[in-house]
Structure 1
Amino acid sequence: MAKALQVLRSIGLQTKDFFRLSFNLQRSSYGYRKLHMSSWIQSEHGSRIPSAHIDGKNKWLNLKWDGEQSKNYPYVWLRDNCRCRECYHEIASQKLFQFNDLDIDVEANDIHFTDDGTAVIHFSDGHKGKYPLSFLEGEKFPAFSDPLRQLNKELWGSELQGAIPTFQFSDVMTDDDVLLGWLTVLHTKGIAILQNAGTIPTEVKKIGDRVAYLRATYYGETFQVMSKNDPNSITYTDTAIDFHTDICAMYNQPGMQMLHCIKQSTEGGENQLVDTYKVVEDLKKEEPEVHSILSSTLFEFTDIGTDILNDFHFRSSKPAISYGFEGNINQVSIHFSRHHSMNVPPEQVYPVYSALKVLSRYLYHEENIVRHRLSPGEILCMDNRRLAHARTKYYIDPTIKGVQRQLAGGYMDWDELSSFYRVLLEKKKKNENSN
């Protein structure tokens, strides 16, 4: 009993911190040491104290909080991620400990908990590591802790007609909860409409500033979609536009596109929208050979011309369907009016064109298309790496002078959108915990 009380004092714990304490220290021939503490409530600073044992055989620390599954933390990871002032810069959120100094065979010899909710570990290299329990609770192996992984892609087709998620522009600009909802919808469905944004062409810039900043391209930070006498893109004409994703000629295509309706033509100019992720899933099931060709053939996308910045000649080589490391669809790159070259021998040209024709047929299938004609003041927001969009021909009245149809456009990248989603989610959780 005297030895147990001595241990209690050495780790700074008092009887007011728990209901019941059981203590057991065992050692075996291969160096296994088990320190067992159970049935804790909270320390006086509010941190839950877990039971713990040091496993020398597997070279990890095992922690278990009441009512939860136990977690294992390898010694080498713990030493590399020490949160003491010598090893970690808290304000910069970066390590000070030099990786070259890390001994991957380091051992943990002892652990105790302070009453302010800190785990203290004595390592074989002589270092005394410190770890807030809140930090350890938030870590696990594998480390799939990104909240965005909880958002599943929601595939859709024509059933979204008349039901595109809609938000008020002013609410997104002023209410963090609404902004979080807008970002959530963009991550899951890939499409949303902002209403009542007015008709000032700079509103897309305000959205970029609200989240982070706009992604500038060779068309500038923002761009105006309207008829021109010397267009460098058919976008700037009144003609119909085939299904496409924007800026395919860049390897890093912009992540999200915004189209703000300033003026709408008297007739035509309807947007057609397709969830290409749904189309890809359909192709995998119904046309596996077509899917194989489109996901393996490298297409040459080019964009050549002159705009407000300077002359440009962009070129990229990539498949129409790209997958990420985890086997999920990463992006779909489609631009029938821009890709004219492909990296295949002549005998494979016809099979590739046949596959493209099947893809086009799926894109124009009525069960996949959602149509929406933007009204002045509406902003169409869409995942540019997922949604293919097209436009019907619109009518220019020769008796009317001036611009008759005008959209203001801008892009953002997913890194910035995802970053601010996490920031807002963390802020919301802190507010909920403080109430």
Structure 2
Amino acid sequence: MRIAHDASALGIDWPDGRTETFQALWLRDNCPCEECRHPSGQRLLDTRRLPNDLTISSAAENGTIDIAFSDGHTARFDAAWLRDGWAAPARRRRLWDAAIQCELPVGRYDEVLAGGAALRDWLAAVDELGFAILTGGPTAPGTVTRVAELFGYVRETNYGRLFDVRTVVDPTNLAYTGLGLGAHTDNPYRDPTPTLQLLHCLASSAAGGENTLVDGFRVAADLSPDHRGLLARYPLRFRFADADTELETEVPVLTLAVSGELAAVHYNTRSVQPIRVPDVHAYYEAYQAFGRMLEEPRYRIEFKLEPGDLFIVDNLRVLHGRTGYSESGERHLQGCYADRDGLRSKLAVLSR
């Protein structure tokens, strides 16, 4: 490793041939010493106190990389931290289609409940694939919230801490009928939209009612660039209202991160309001293409929950639906919402 510097920056030639340059102000701002950083890991140094004309006075490699600055402070950096340690780890994300039907991410309830490696692997599947299944659980009401509490907290909504999905008289939501439901995002009319949804089967004697899942990110990747651009550019209005609730928000079908990568999908034909865009024809062409692809067998997986089984989806990535079912039998699910940051936090702790 070779280091060199001028007043404005430090250059490092790593043994593998990689070369990096670190600006003086960035290095001073990230000093790891106890004067600049609390033992908790939180910063003590206030960036606003640093002069804009800060420079490097000297730099040397002495087991650590020691840098003296024009403000009189010296920072000592571990070389490994400058090499890779400061950057956020790459998030594992594997896109999938119907071929994954043969290798569904399934955990056993009793093993996952015990925590440790089984829980870690189950949560890792959710983070990587956007869904996972749990089998062999009890059929006791409220089990779905206990599973959510393995990694975080239940997000309570107007539907309550948990909600029942079964046929009711005079339903306010099509989920409470025996009708089939196309692939959709839950609660896109809510801001923020719930990031995780869990559904637990209490009874399943009715014919039909298979659950369907599709990776919205995988489908979006197969759209034409023009169609992706239109669905990311214009927000749609989603709305839900009943006697006690009125919820409405605007969000694009495809939400992009600042990096340009796809960050979220919001698609729900039941709660979307009249579309208002400059070129209606072009937009509908993109909107219809995406919606029809979501229902294509090449993208969709299908499974039927047995009593005690449960599945979880990343509600901003994996769209879920169901086939219609007969009202002569019984189909009773309980669901709840949770937050993805809680899941990722628990996964990070278990992966240490």
Tell me, yes or no, whether TM beats 0.5.
yes
Tell me how far apart the structure 2 counterparts of residues 273 and 354 of structure 1 sit (CA, whole Å): 23
C-alpha distance 253-58 of structure 1, shift in aligned 2 (>3 A): same
User: Secondary structure of 2:182's partner?
Assistant: strand
Matched, 1:82 2:15: no
- Matched with 1:178 is 118
Shift of 1:160: 2.4
**Which residue among 203, 208, 233 is the counterpart of 2:173?**
233
Tell me how far apart the structure 2 counterparts of residues 177 and 299 of structure 1 sit (CA, whole Å): 41
Corresponding letter in the other structure for 1:128:
T
- Matched with 1:25 is none
- Matched with 1:137 is 80
- Matched with 1:379 is 310
Q: State TM-score, norm by structure 2.
A: 0.88
Structure 1 alignment gaps of length 5 or more: 1-50, 428-435
- Matched with 1:100 is 48
Tell me how far apart the structure 2 counterparts of residues 83 and 157 of structure 1 sit (CA, whole Å): 45
Conserved in 1, the CA contact under 8 Å of 2:208 and 2:326?
A: yes
Corresponding letter in the other structure for 1:129:
A
Matched, 1:274 2:214: yes
Conserved in 1, the CA contact under 8 Å of 2:131 and 2:313?
A: yes
Shift of 1:211: 1.3
- Matched with 2:5 is 55
Conserved in 2, the CA contact under 8 Å of 1:238 and 1:396?
A: yes
User: Secondary structure of 1:172's partner?
Assistant: helix
C-alpha distance 124-364 of structure 1, shift in aligned 2 (>3 A): closer
Shift of 1:142: 11
Tell me how far apart the structure 1 counterparts of residues 295 and 227 of structure 2 sit (CA, whole Å): 16
Please give the per-residue CA displacement for 1:251-310, whole angstroms capped at 9, x wherever unaligned.
4222221111111132121112222222222222xxx5544433333211001125xxxx
Conserved in 2, the CA contact under 8 Å of 1:274 and 1:387?
A: yes
Tell me how far apart the structure 2 counterparts of residues 368 and 424 of structure 1 sit (CA, whole Å): 32
Aligned residue pairs total 352
User: Secondary structure of 1:95's partner?
Assistant: coil
User: Secondary structure of 2:150's partner?
Assistant: helix
Shift of 1:233: 1.0
C-alpha distance 349-61 of structure 1, shift in aligned 2 (>3 A): closer
Shift of 1:367: 1.6
Please show how residues 311-322 of structure 1 align to structure 2 within 5 Å: 311-322=244-255
- Matched with 2:287 is 356
Corresponding letter in the other structure for 1:332:
V
Find the structure with the greater CA-based Rg: 1
Matched, 1:213 2:153: yes
Higher relative contact order (CA 8 A, sep 6+): 2
Tell me how far apart the structure 1 counterparts of residues 282 and 54 of structure 2 sit (CA, whole Å): 58
Matched, 1:294 2:231: yes
Corresponding letter in the other structure for 2:88:
D
Tell me how far apart the structure 1 counterparts of residues 124 and 17 of structure 2 sit (CA, whole Å): 29
**Which residue among 386, 402, 406 is the counterpart of 2:332?**
406
**Which residue among 417, 420, 424 is the counterpart of 2:350?**
424
Tell me how far apart the structure 2 counterparts of residues 290 and 100 of structure 1 sit (CA, whole Å): 43
Q: State TM-score, norm by structure 1.
A: 0.73
Shift of 1:219: 1.7
Corresponding letter in the other structure for 1:408:
Q
- Matched with 2:183 is 243
Structure 2 alignment gaps of length 5 or more: none
C-alpha distance 141-373 of structure 1, shift in aligned 2 (>3 A): closer
Shift of 1:249: 0.5
